Chains A and B, each alone.
Chain A
Amino acid sequence: MPRSGEIDYRQVNLVFTCLFLFLVFCSASLPALAQQKATEPQVLAPGWSELEFEPPEAGSYRLPPMGMAGDGNVLDSSGQATTLHSLMGDKVVVMSFIYSSCSDANGCPLATHVLERLQNQLMKDPGKGNGVRFISLSFDPGQDTPEVMQRYGRPYISGDFDWHFLTTSGKSELEPVLKSYGQTIVRDPNVTGEEAGNISHVLRVFLIDRRMQIRNIFSASYLHADSMLNDIRTLQMETALQGPGDVKQGYEHSNYQTQAQSLKNRRGKSMELWSYSEQPPLGLPPIPVPGDNPLSTEKIELGRLLFFDRRLSHNNTFSCAMCHVPEQGFASNELATAVGIEGRTVRRNSPTIYNVAYLENLFHDGRESTLEQQIWGPLLARNEMGNPSVGRVIEQINAIPEYRERFQTAFAGRPVSMETVGMALASYERVLVSANSPFDRWYYGGEKDALSATEQAGFRLFNGKARCSSCHQISSEWALFTDNQMHNTGIGYQRSMLQTPKETRVQIAPGEHITVRSDVVEDASEPLPNDLGLYEITESPNDRWKYRTPTLRNVALTAPYMHNGSISTLREVIDFYDRGGINNELLDPLLQPLRLSDEESRQLLAFLQALTGDNVDALVADAFAVPVGNTGAD
């Protein structure tokens, strides 16, 4: 027996089957539905009728993340195998669990009806709901074959709206999915006693953002197209700041749709960065500041202008921000390895500037020790900003009257010099601190619910079986997620020592790949310069292919990964470490095969995705507000 206050869906099934059939087949109007409502003892869920209140205005509220949306192997309605995660990440996803023979009017039919209404409202937008995808996944794989799902779904899909009716190949594939979404089902026995009758379940519809985080969960009494529409818009407003403006997630698949943002509308809002020097976000220690370069608002603001000024390169085409793009995690999501002035090849991936203040060794090979010195590396590198000399950079800055004044003010009368340019840029970079992530609020802030059970399980693996924290260290007071040491994982060794495959797979359009003989690629290419890591600095043979441990804070924003950007996704990084790296005589002994189960890898992934600081939007908005320095009269 159901507990008081709960609806026993099994008992009301028969009544609602009739009502539902009436609704579906006679296209009952809403007033007719209201009449039924008046005479029935059980109330129909609000999703069937007009919302009785004005939903809160889109963007006027926040939907805090509730943990990662689970993955799983599914079949699309044409029978093709795919995964849930391959249908997430590029769009806001609304996901419901249904089964085609479900007849409970406050169950699956409600979910599908509300989604249909939502679809029709989205289709009225100028973008025709392009940024949204619906997933209706069956939890009855026995009955719901791909063909059945196709027949079931077809009448609901309006035009080319992106709505997927999925199923699984069987119980063993379905169960982990149900578990990760907290869906428990009870199957009624049929007359012969087999588990084949109705399925009782608590209706849940999930709203999932572009970072695959669950942002809202709707059940029968809460599910309504109008409020969901505003939730979707709320997510779309916030995602405008995070992630590249030219979204390529899902580009591997032929159903890829663009989600390009307007550059004209790329506007920001300045923030007071200096306050971080007094109080860094939760989870970080005080910002280390050298005695001879104390932080000041004037220096930070000057450094910020310089950071976005393309006139700081030899031919006025490159600022620091061209490789450290704010909305791309202050790194570059668009390139595995960076491209410098005149298109010159850079060997390594652009590292993030977030939390760079805490690094003891700068650059992937750790060759520089202070930010003040480090900034001259890219300014003078022939294949980065390409300036021919220190003097030339200083002349260039001095030629801009605003800078002459700002340097005088920020440095108490001191002019533009090698030292003050370094101090100004270092001051801005130093305050790009980001933490107070769900992990920090859970671990350091005592918020028990800040991490989901899956993320917490991921944290236990991080510290335990997966051994991540050996290098990506955390302490009882704060976490830098780096040991500031250099390690050999085999990635560099592989590039230097192993043969390249004879063929390369090259993507030529969304969902379209060709296999090309590697010599075709090599013919069109200067050979990629070799990379020996720390050895290039120390010339000690034991330092071959060692690179700095990067922080994991905001790691979800900084794909692709590793010092050469050779791994595209975090899941593939986990798989790489699960295999124990790439064997070589200098492989760090900390790397061993981990034998993680698929579920453990997913938990670990969920944890890594819970390391995104809560001030990312604010820092990106602050960066957007900075004018890009270009040649021309003001």
Chain B
Amino acid sequence: MKITLSRILQRKAGLLFLSLSLALAAGFSMPLIADETCMSPYMAKITGQEDFVYVWTLGAEGVGDEQDKLVTVDVNPASPNYGKVVHTLSVGGRNEAHHSGFTDDRHYLWAGGLDTSKIFIFDVHSDPARPTLHKTIDDFVKTSGGVVGPHTTYALPGRMMLTGLSNDKDHGGRTALVEYTNSGDYVATHWMPTDEDLGGAVKSGNFADGYGYDVRALPRRNVMITSSFTGWNNYMANLGKVMGDAEAMKRFGNTVVVWDLHSRKPKKVFDVPGAPLEIRCAWGPHNDYCFTTTALTSKIWLIYEDDEGEWQAKAVADIGDAAKIPLPVDISISADDSLLWIDTWNDGKARLFDISDPFKPVQIQETKIGAQINMASQSWDGKRIYFTSSLLANWDKVEAPEGEDLQYFKSYTWDGAKLNHEFSIDFVAENLGLPHQMRFGAYSLYGKSNPLVSSPESTSSGLSGGQ
């Protein structure tokens, strides 16, 4: 399949349409459009400046109260608290805090623990500056039928789709998707396709390992896409031990699965060797493709619908030198589908790829952010980007070279040519823990205005989003 000229034109027209529609919805003036670009298309959007970044933070022995917490950072430059931690909420225990995601109405933030399989549901709408713990799901393993390690919490209409990473039988990588209502009631378990039970899917290559990691949807194509990482035995263990254990290294995922979104049936299993992690789908209305990167083999893969309407997977670029294990982790796609940020954990670099031809991504920039880097969240307009450092409690580095930051939250602006550092918070020095995933908060989503900010230009404004 080749992206034809007509498709490129369609894509550009789509972008124009998207910008126009956002502008129209925001009151006929071109707003400061701001939201992270990696969220569910079903979700309400923020326009204007985000007020907060919620950082789901791992507790670490010897650091503060040693337990997982939701840390709220004020990121509105107009706020007197700009750049400061304004709230923390400890949840008890070290659960291997990892990913988090809002419900489609953005009233609640679901945050999973990969170790204890607990899911913490935070109320972020009653007071966006001070989230509260609304509910804890502590029977996820039992209710789901043995799924361990809730990872992605992805908004679908009125419900949350969770990916698992492991299971309670062998702590290996075979796992399932688990579906809940927004109010936290279990709906269903959808097991990842295995050789023994492909669930109707076509095994297109050599692998149907049944492993899981991330999930994303392209609703207009009725498609859901999942990737595959590794089981509890590996993601909880010390990284050096895993790399030195020949058996453990055989237990990484090598598959991407394309699902029928509506029926939740797996359709096609692709060989994508070397642990494909985050999935980011293009936003353009005719850009029927998603990207993922493989952690171990350091490649960008394109998952795309070809001209015949068939889904395909193709390795389209290398990320750094695989022999140095750069370990690509989080990726973030720009709202116009032209740029892809790729964080490489091991060398602490944020790399920017030009993806305007999705079949030929080209690295155009790289910036050293710290001794290690994991998550990246950019604003919808691509002007602000935030980074955190922690990957997994026992994979994180324990020492940083002189002058390099180890456990941090960092705020940057992107001026089109380079990243400009705005502020940093050292999460260990602040006795907080190991910072992981970031989600944006704003008063505007709930019809409120920021009480600490008087200038209307700097206030966020809400926009119902979604498809």
The answer to whether B246 and A260 touch across the interface, beta carbons within 8 angstroms, is: no
Given A261-B195, A508-B296, decide whether A632 and B239 contact each other with a Cβ distance below 8 A: no
In angstroms, Cα B346 to Cα A521, docked, is 11
The answer to whether A335 and B245 touch across the interface, beta carbons within 8 angstroms, is: yes
Taking CB atoms, residues of chain A closer than 8 Å to B169 are: 245, 263, 266, 325, 628
Given A258-B208, A262-B196, decide whether A512 and B240 contact each other with a Cβ distance below 8 A: no
Taking CB atoms, residues of chain A closer than 8 Å to B248 are: 334-336
Instruction: Decide yes or no whether B187 CB sits under 8 A from chain A.
Output: no
The answer to whether A260 and B116 touch across the interface, beta carbons within 8 angstroms, is: no
Instruction: Decide yes or no whether B145 CB sits under 8 A from chain A.
Output: yes
Among A131, A504, A509, A630, max chain B CB count under 10 A is at A509
Which B375-401 residues sit within 8 Å CB-CB of chain A?
A: 393-395, 397-398
In angstroms, Cα B250 to Cα A246, docked, is 10
Taking CB atoms, residues of chain A closer than 8 Å to B176 are: 263
Instruction: Decide yes or no whether B324 CB sits under 8 A from chain A.
Output: yes
Q: Which one, A256, A257, A327, A508, contacts B274 given CB within 8 A?
A: A508
The answer to whether B237 and A524 touch across the interface, beta carbons within 8 angstroms, is: no
In angstroms, Cα B143 to Cα A630, docked, is 9
The answer to whether B238 and A343 touch across the interface, beta carbons within 8 angstroms, is: yes
Taking CB atoms, residues of chain A closer than 8 Å to B453 are: none
Interface residues on chain B, size class:
35 or more
Interface residues on chain A, size class:
35 or more
Given A509-B296, A514-B325, decide whether A339 and B236 contact each other with a Cβ distance below 8 A: yes
A516 nearest in chain B by CB position: B325
Q: Hey, what's the 0/1 contact readout for B258-274 against A, CB within 8 Å counting as 1?
A: 00000000000000011
In angstroms, Cα B324 to Cα A520, docked, is 8
Secondary structure at chain B's binding surface: helix, strand, loop or mixed? loop
The answer to whether A345 and B237 touch across the interface, beta carbons within 8 angstroms, is: yes
Shortest Cβ gap from B177 to chain A (Å): 13
The answer to whether B394 and A510 touch across the interface, beta carbons within 8 angstroms, is: no
The answer to whether B247 and A334 touch across the interface, beta carbons within 8 angstroms, is: yes
The answer to whether A257 and B206 touch across the interface, beta carbons within 8 angstroms, is: yes
The answer to whether B142 and A325 touch across the interface, beta carbons within 8 angstroms, is: no
The answer to whether A628 and B239 touch across the interface, beta carbons within 8 angstroms, is: no
Taking CB atoms, residues of chain B closer than 8 Å to A335 are: 233, 237, 245, 247-248
Secondary structure at chain A's binding surface: helix, strand, loop or mixed? loop
Q: Which one, B170, B197, B203, contacts A128 given CB within 8 A?
A: B203
Instruction: Decide yes or no whether A215 CB sits under 8 A from chain B.
Output: no
Q: Which one, A244, A262, A328, contacts B197 given CB within 8 A?
A: A262
Given A334-B251, A507-B246, decide whether A315 and B115 contact each other with a Cβ distance below 8 A: yes
Given A514-B322, A523-B397, decide whether A632 and B139 contact each other with a Cβ distance below 8 A: yes
In angstroms, Cα B394 to Cα A128, docked, is 40
The answer to whether A508 and B249 touch across the interface, beta carbons within 8 angstroms, is: yes
Given A343-B237, A512-B274, A516-B323, decide whether A504 and B115 contact each other with a Cβ distance below 8 A: no
Taking CB atoms, residues of chain A closer than 8 Å to B394 are: 342-343
Closest 7 CB pairs of A and B: A525-B240, A632-B139, A343-B236, A509-B273, A262-B197, A632-B142, A260-B194
Query: Assuming A256-B206, A258-B254, A632-B143, what are 13 further A-B pairs, CB within 8 angstroms?
Result: A130-B195, A246-B251, A255-B206, A263-B146, A265-B196, A343-B236, A343-B238, A343-B394, A508-B296, A521-B240, A526-B240, A568-B246, A630-B141
List 7 A–B pairs whose Cβ atoms lie within 8 Å, in order of A's numbering: A126-B198, A251-B250, A260-B208, A335-B237, A507-B249, A508-B249, A525-B244
> Footprint of A on B, CB under 8 Å?
93-96, 115-117, 138-139, 141-143, 145-146, 148, 167-174, 176, 191, 194-198, 203, 206-210, 231-233, 235-241, 243-252, 254, 273-274, 294, 296-297, 322-325, 346, 393-395, 397-398
